[in-house]
Amino acid sequence: MIIVEVENVSKRFRRQTVQPSTTLKTVLVDLIRRRRRPEREATFQALKAITFVVERGQTLGIIGRNGSGKSTLLKLLAGIYRPDGGRITVQGKVGALLELGAGFHPEFSGRENIMINGIVLGLSKREVRRRFDEIVRFAELERFIDEPVKTYSSGMYMRLGFSVAVHADPDILLIDEILAVGDTAFHDKCFEKIAEFHARGKTIILVSHDLVAVERWSDEVLWVGNGAVRERGKPQHVIEMYRQSLAVQERGTTSAEYPRVDKEIREQAGVGIPKRWGSREVEIVSVKMVDAMERERYIYNSGEQARVQLSYKVNGNVQEPIFGLAIVRADDLCCYGSNTYIEEVPLPPLSHGGTIEVLLKHVDLLAGTYYFDVAVQARDGYVYDYHQRLYPFTVKSERHDIGVSRIPHCWTITPLPPSPHQETNPTEADGLIDGAQSLNERGKRA
């Protein structure tokens, strides 16, 4: 049974590009500006012809970049906004967690806000009073329930809002990134409640940047981009398409950043700047990363191959310089470093310039942002050119290891053989096997 139907829905917002008028002259000038300004410049199209349905008992995850229209869509479903075009049909009582503290009056106490919000969500005064203790206990606010909510922390706001919404027992629960606030223990309680709602056949529409949570809880995922539906389908498929899109966009942004950095380095070759120093007798003129297909790229999955290409120019009479490379995490932790002297790499005569290339057979770093430090110096440590934290790259990983580097490994578990005196109860063993097979068959059917 369809419980939410969105048909060809669009929503526009007017841009506030003119400051409020304070004199008669500015009123007249602003009036002329508004008449001259085209309508397309005066408004912003937040959503464009959005169409989808949600069935009763389904959990729909909505993903997309900031500004893509996700929150606007939820506010339309909650009835806070009205569409400029199209039609929205919602059957049942809606509970919405759209903004931190939305619907709370800061001067009122937590007790008073529970009463107000419970009634707004469709409960009677008697029902709110009957559920009051459970709401407060779930939110863990017994000590603060009679304090004004303006004194609450962001986590307390979130706990109270979530508790009121779920205890109003809505048919449809709308959640917009609200679970990003709060501690881990309360997250677990929230997810347990969501699981309970799902088991009871409630409908949930969840907006979140936490793709792991979206994939875990959603039956289907809707990807919204630039106000339109980009894709809808099984969570794993849609999320993978979204991740690929993000990688392409990030790759283009980072690749565009490198020429800018190189240009700044060249322009400031004779100026001492904090991230670069040295005599420039040997000068590093560019640094770039390329993948196994020789494509310039700065976003890699953990374990991929990459090459770092360093171009240099010789400006003086230099004998046997040492070229070095280090990988530094965004928090300034040095993950790895080496140079041609340590590696005993023989250098040919440098002539007037050339290229140094380092092959990284496996970028076995954990997910995060990293930087290259590159340098060329003399054996006594005299620096010709040192570039610090100028060349960023990103490593992505689906794994959740802890630390810096993923060391190739495998697990082997060898149980001890049964004792010769150990007897197995055939009836009990048969029961365990039958139970496991039954669970397996149910899992396959699910």
* pLDDT tens profile 131-147: 999 999 998 899 999 99
- pLDDT over 60 (residue 28): yes
Mean pLDDT, range 31-48, rounded to an integer: 67
Banded model confidence at residue 387, pLDDT cuts 50, 70, 90 = very high
- pLDDT over 90 (residue 266): no
**What's the confidence (pLDDT) of residue 282?**
94
Q: Which range has highest mean pLDDT (18-32, 101-115, 257-271)?
A: 101-115
Domains along the chain with CATH numbers: 2-244 (3.40.50.300), 268-396 (2.70.50.60)
- pLDDT over 80 (residue 127): yes
215 contacts: CB under 8 Å, gap ≥ 6: 61, 221, 235, 236, 239
Banded model confidence at residue 427, pLDDT cuts 50, 70, 90 = very low
396 vs 98, higher pLDDT = 396
Give counts: helices (H), strands (E), the chain: 10, 18
**Does residue 295 come out as left (phi exceeding 0), alpha (psi in the -120 to 50 range) or beta?**
beta
**What's the confidence (pLDDT) of residue 256?**
56
* pLDDT tens profile 405-415: 888 888 888 88
Nearest Cα to 161, choosing from 147, 144, 175, 171? Answer: 175
Nearest Cα to 278, choosing from 247, 221, 323? Answer: 323
Token pair listed for 319: 């004998």
C-alpha 67/C-alpha 157 separation (Å) is: 24
**What's the confidence (pLDDT) of residue 341?**
93
Mean pLDDT, range 10-36, rounded to an integer: 66
**What's the confidence (pLDDT) of residue 25?**
61
C-alpha 383/C-alpha 386 separation (Å) is: 7
Token pair listed for 402: 């802890």
Token pair listed for 43: 């408004």
- pLDDT over 70 (residue 343): yes
